[in-house]
Amino acid sequence: MATTLIRNLVFALTVDAHDTVLEDASMVVDGDRIAALGPAAEVEAEFPPDRVDTVVDGSRRGVVPGFVDSHVHLSETLSRGVFPDTLGTRAWVFHWAKPFYAHVGPEDERVSVLLGTTEMLRCGTTCFLDMGSQHDAGITVRAAAEVGIRGVTGRHAADTKPAEIPPGWTDEMVEHHFFPSAEVALEVLEQQVHDWNGYADGLIRCWVNIEGKEPCSPELHVGARALAERLGVGTTYHLATSIEEARVSERKHGLWPVERIASLGGLGSNLVIAHGVAVKDTEVPLLATHDAKVAFCPSTSLKLAKGATAIGKYPEMRDAGVTVGVGTDGVAAAGNINLMRQMYLVAGLFKDARLDETQIGGREALRMATIDGARALGWDDEIGSLEVGKRADFVLFDLDHFEWTPYEDPLMALVWSVSPASIAETWVNGRALYRDGRVVTVDEAALRAEARERAADIVRRAGLDRSATPVTTTLYE
């Protein structure tokens, strides 16, 4: 295997158990793993420059672990700037997202995944948890593997249709999205795991993912987690996504969403709850006791008024020992797939909302976007921090960039001052996939041209019109 010495790095934010910060450091990548990391003199005594295959000058570079996006919709990437920002969560899903998805074909979805994952690499994201393909997990799996990124995906599944099918939904979408029963859905999802888990030499994993919330029966919620446990994988679904959902759940079932799923025996350590905004104080211990994970998506909460700053219990979850990762969600919901923007928001939202400067800050936000995200995905044994023996997933920043000029504390600069604009390289599994201003595995110019054409065609066919498409809903109430 080829070895690369990145020498004389100005800093390395390791995000290890002690949040070790190294200065004047060198790192050696041997194949797909980190073979050495430490003071430059010590590393180069073991790996002299003349005994490695490649030497990279890191004298104006800083390195951090690759970011881990713990909740994203890669099949949504062609919907950027389509939906208005005057929607609540339920109207957004049922009257805008569903009609959009109804007109996303398999090739549209492939282009969407390619576009989304190249954006991720440009933003320093090296691993993702995708909610799943609208068609077949293989579409996402193959496209992500083509780009070279690491990730987890699945196949969309639900089993409870609304009493009336809203305008914009197609018969084909309803038939494909909504299985006749939880049993049938789980049979298909099990096959998807058998077909795709461990693809590309383990770079891509496949889980038992479902939509969650009202479109899924209790049997599907509980069954998905149980099936995932039997198969040795994880599951993720939307739950407690907004105060709207919580109120509907309380009205229909007498319980808020997390408490309801807990009462059914559905919580567990292999479950990642997407959003988890509407959580009561009494539900936090339930999440902690069952070691359920949560993916916080701050941009979506702001755009859709989910209520993270008003009712969100993310600081309490962390204090109780719940693993909380950071997600971007999809570009229609959040506007971007930029995890650095989410990290910035995470570091400041609760300080301001609670008038308390000791709330989640830069150190915690970086951990949530790296090692905690990796832990949510069950991958923290290999990624999420810079440590010898772990996979070589990392981001190199250009410290000559204006965003870094000048700075004192690299952590404070990274979280509060820096954006993807100063990323020099993004490495995944020992490969520099983004460098010299381009993603090396994709013809980005051609991809963007095709994406623009396909996106315009989907919007036209979906009939999404801001003057006519509903902005409120009563579905499932």
User: What is the per-residue pLDDT for 477?
Assistant: 66
| DSSP letter for each residue of 319-346 | HTT--EEE--B-HHHHS---HHHHHHHH
Give how far Cα 192 sits from Cα of 26, 137, 271, 340, Å.
42, 7, 18, 31
Between CA 42 and CA 381 the distance in angstroms is: 25
CB-CB neighbours of 411 under 10 Å? 19
Q: Which amino acid is at 282?
A: T
Task: Give me the tens of pLDDT residue by residue for the chain, a chain 477 residues long.
Answer: 899 999 999 999 999 999 999 999 999 999 999 999 999 999 999 999 999 999 999 999 999 999 999 999 999 999 999 998 988 888 888 888 999 999 999 999 999 999 999 999 999 999 999 999 999 999 999 999 999 999 999 999 999 998 889 888 999 989 989 999 999 999 999 999 999 999 999 999 999 999 999 999 999 999 999 999 999 999 999 999 999 899 999 999 999 999 999 999 999 999 999 999 999 999 999 999 999 999 999 999 999 999 999 999 999 999 999 999 999 999 999 999 999 999 999 999 999 999 999 999 999 999 999 999 999 999 999 999 999 999 999 999 999 999 999 999 999 999 999 999 999 999 999 999 999 999 999 999 999 999 999 999 999 998 887 766 777 777 766
pTM over 0.85: yes
Give the residue among 346, 301, 347, 296 at the shortest CA–CA distance from 324.
296
Q: Which CATH superfamily is domain 67-376 in?
A: Metal-dependent hydrolases (3.20.20.140)
Between CA 411 and CA 151 the distance in angstroms is: 26
Residues with Cβ within 8 Å of residue 93, at least 6 apart in sequence: none
Give how far Cα 26 sits from Cα of 132, 138, 191, 372, 444, Å.
38, 39, 44, 25, 32
Give the residue among 193, 151, 50 at the shortest CA–CA distance from 391.
151
Q: Where in the chain is the domain with CATH 3.20.20.140?
A: 67-376
Q: Where are the alpha helices (DSSP H) in 12-159?
A: 40-46, 89-91, 98-102, 106-122, 137-147
User: What is the per-residue pLDDT for 466?
Assistant: 74
CATH of domain 3-65+385-437: 2.30.40.10
Q: Which amino acid is at 380?
A: D
CA angle 152, 158, 161 (to 5 degrees): 155
User: What is the per-residue pLDDT for 468?
Assistant: 67
For residue 181 the two structure tokens come to 């029963």
Q: Where in the chain is the domain with CATH 2.30.40.10?
A: 3-65+385-437
